[in-house]
Amino acid sequence: MAGSPGAAALDAVKGEFRRYRALADGALEQLRDDELAAPDPGGNSAAVLVWHLSGNLRSRFTNFLTSDGEKPWRNREEEFAARPVSRAELEEKWAAGWQCLDQALDALAEDDLAGTVTIRSVEHTAVEALLRSVSHVAYHTGQLVALTRRLRGGDWRYLSIPPGGSGEYNQNLTREKG
C-alpha cells in the first residue's frame, strides 16, 4: 500500500541518498580539473573520496539482499590510493556507484525491509544496512564539501543556505523537500 510506514521509510531513504548526492555533485562541479586529485592535508582528495564511495556503493548494493555487502572483488585499500584522474574518469567512477545503488533501491519492495542482509558476515536488517549506508555517504559527502570549500576559497558557491540567507530561504520552504 502506497502510504504505509514501510513505503514511507523506503521513500525517505531514497530521498536522503538523493540529497547527499546533490550536495556531493554540487561540490564536485566546483572543483577545477587540477583540484580533483589535490590532497586535503591529513585527509583525502576528491578523487579518493569518489573512488571510495563508488567502491562502497557497488559492493554494498550489488545483490543487496542476497550476498554479503563486502564483496570479494572489492579492493578497499586501493580506493584510498592517491591517483591522478581526469574529470571523465572521475564522473564515470562516480556514476557507476550511484547507478548500482539506484538499481538496488528501485528493486526493493516494502517487504524486503524486514529481511536480513550481511555486511562483513554481520547480520543487519535491510533497514539497518540502508541507514548505515546513508550515514556513510553523508560522512564522506561532508568531507568532500569541506575539502572543496577549502580548495575554492573565495570562489566557493554555497550548496545550502548561505550566511545571511535564512530569511530569503524561509520565504520559499518548498525547496526543502525538492
Write out pLDDT tens, residues 128-146.
999 999 999 999 999 999 9
pLDDT by residue (tens digit) across 59-118? 999 999 999 999 999 999 999 999 999 999 999 999 999 999 999 999 999 999 989 999
What backbone torsions phi and psi does residue 165 show, to the nearest 5 degrees? Answer: -105, 10
Mean pLDDT of the chain: 93
Contacts of 21 (CB under 8 A, 6+ apart): 98, 137, 141
Question: pLDDT band at 2, cuts 50/70/90?
Answer: low
- Side-chain half-sphere CA neighbours of 75 within 13 A: 5
pLDDT by residue (tens digit) across 49-58? 999 999 999 9
> ∠ CA 17-23-27 to the nearest 5 degrees?
140
**pTM (two decimals):** 0.92
At the fourth CATH level, which superfamily is domain 5-177?
dinb family like domain (1.20.120.450)
Query: What's the confidence (pLDDT) of residue 176?
Result: 58
Question: pLDDT band at 41, cuts 50/70/90?
Answer: confident
